[in-house]
Amino acid sequence: MAVSGPTVVRRSLGRRLARHREAAKLTHAQVGAALGVSRSSINRLESGQVEIKIATIRALCREYRVADDETEALVALSPGTKAQGWWQTAVNGMTRH
C-alpha cells in the first residue's frame, strides 16, 4: 500500500524513526540532548505532529547509526510531510464574514 497524505507520511516516518531510536536503546531525552532540542520535540516528530526536515532525519539517523540505504529511504519521505492535508486546505480556503 502506498503512503500518501502529509499526516500518513508523518506518522509512518515517525514510527520508523522511533523504531530506530528504540533499537539504539536511546530515550527521547537522550536524543534531544544530543541534537540540542527538547525531549518533547523528538516525541512530536515520532508521533507525526510536525513536518520533519531532511537535516533532522539525517541527524537522527546518524545518532541511531542507521545504514545509509535506510537513511536515504527515510529522507525520501521528507517532502511528503510538508503538504497540507485536505482539511487544512478547506479551512484555509474559507473566508469569515
Give, rounded to a whole angstrom, the gap between the first and last alpha carbons of the chain: 42
Q: Which pLDDT score, from 0 to 100, does residue 80 have?
A: 76
Asked whether the beta carbons of 12 and 3 are under 8 A apart, the reply is yes
Q: Which pLDDT score, from 0 to 100, does residue 8 have?
A: 87
Q: What is the mean pLDDT of residues 21-50?
A: 95
Q: Classify residue 94 as exposed, middle or buried by CB count within 10 Å of its CB (0-12, 13-18, 19+).
A: exposed
Q: What is the pTM of this model?
A: 0.79
Which positions ≥6 away from 75 have C-beta within 8 Å?
54, 57, 58
Residue 97 has pLDDT above 50, yes or no: no
Q: What is the mean pLDDT of residues 17-26?
A: 98
Asked whether the beta carbons of 18 and 64 are under 8 A apart, the reply is no
72-85: pLDDT as tens digits:
999 998 887 776 55
